[in-house]
Amino acid sequence: MSANGRSPGAPILEVGDVHTYYGSIHALKGVSLTVNDGEIVTLLGANGAGKTTTLRSINGLNRPRQGSIRFDGRDITTVPAHEIVRRGIAQSPEGRRLFPRMTVTENLEMGAFQRHDRSEIREDMERVFELFPRLQERRSQKAGTMSGGEQQMCAIGRALMARPKLLLLDEPSLGLAPIFVERIFDIIRQINEQGTSILLVEQNALMALDAADRGYVLETGRIVLADDAASLKTNEEVRKTYLGET
C-alpha cells in the first residue's frame, strides 16, 4: 500500500540510465528511477548530488545526452519543456521563482497559461484556495510581499494550476519556519490523496521519508540506494548522513 492508503499503479515515470551534462561536467551518471501512479517518491542527497539536475532532465530544461525518460507510457526524452507541461508534468522549483510584482491570482493564472478550459481553470483555482486558505485571503496581494511560507504555497498552487498527473517538488521546505514546514507537508499528502503522483526533492530527509512511499539516495550523480521509505529511515547509513544521527 502507498502512503495515501491506495495500492500504487503502473509506473507513470520511468527514468532509465540518464546521463546529463553541464558543458563538460558530467552531472548525472546513469540515473534510473521510477514513480508509480499514486506514489510519493523522494530523492535524497547532499547539495550538488544531482537532485535538481534530475528534475531538470525530467522536465525538459536539461536534455540528457544518454538514456531515456518515459512518462505515462510515452518517451519524452527529447520533448520540449512546454510540451512536457502540457502532457502532465509540472514543477514547483527551488526558490519558488514567483513573479513578485504580480498578484497571487495572477501567479496562479500563469500556471494555467497553456489551458483553454476556462470553467475548469476556475474550479482548479478554487481547489488551490481550499488547499491554501491563506492564498485566498491574499489573492490580490503582490506575491513578492508575502512571507516565505506563503510564497511556497503560491508556487505549489501555480504548479497545480497546470493540472499535472506528476508534480515535481524541489526543496519545498527550504528556508521555512517549522510551523510552515509541517503545513506544507500536510498539503503535499493531501495533493497526493487527491490523485497526483509526486517526485519530491527535499533536504529535510526525515519529513520527506515520513511523507513518501519510496526513496532514492543520490551521490555525485549516481543512485547509491533505493528502498521503501520505512526501510530507508532505519538504514544506518541514511540515519548517519541525512538524519543527523551519530
Q: Tell me: the pLDDT tens digits for 29-88?
A: 999 999 999 999 999 998 899 999 999 999 999 999 999 999 999 999 999 999 999 999
Alpha helices in the chain (DSSP H): 51-58, 81-87, 104-111, 118-131, 133-137, 148-160, 178-193, 205-211, 229-234, 236-241
Whether the pLDDT of residue 3 is over 60: the answer is no
Mean pLDDT of the chain: 91
Place of cell 510581499: 145
List pLDDT tens digits, range 152-168: 989 999 999 999 999 99
Q: Between 218 and 96, whose confidence is greater?
A: 218
Counting residues of the chain whose pLDDT is more than 70, the rounded percentage is 95
In the prediction, which pLDDT does 218 show?
A: 95
1-88+164-246: CATH topology is Rossmann fold (3.40.50)
Mean pLDDT of 14-43: 97
The residue extents of the domains of the chain are 1-88+164-246, 96-163
In the prediction, which pLDDT does 88 show?
A: 95
Least confident segment among 86-100, 125-139, 183-197: 86-100
Q: How many CB atoms lie within 10 A of CB 72?
A: 16
List pLDDT tens digits, range 200-211: 999 889 999 999
In the prediction, which pLDDT does 5 show?
A: 53
What does the buried/exposed string (b/e) look like for 94-125 if buried means 16 or more CB atoms within 10 Å of the residue's CB?
Answer: bebebeeeebbbbbbbebbeeeeeeeebeebb
List pLDDT tens digits, range 165-184: 999 999 998 888 888 888 88
Residue type, 207: M
Mean pLDDT of 133-160: 91
Least confident segment among 17-26, 89-98, 103-112, 237-246: 237-246
Is the pTM higher than 0.85? yes
Q: How far apart are CA 41 and CA 218, in angstroms?
A: 13
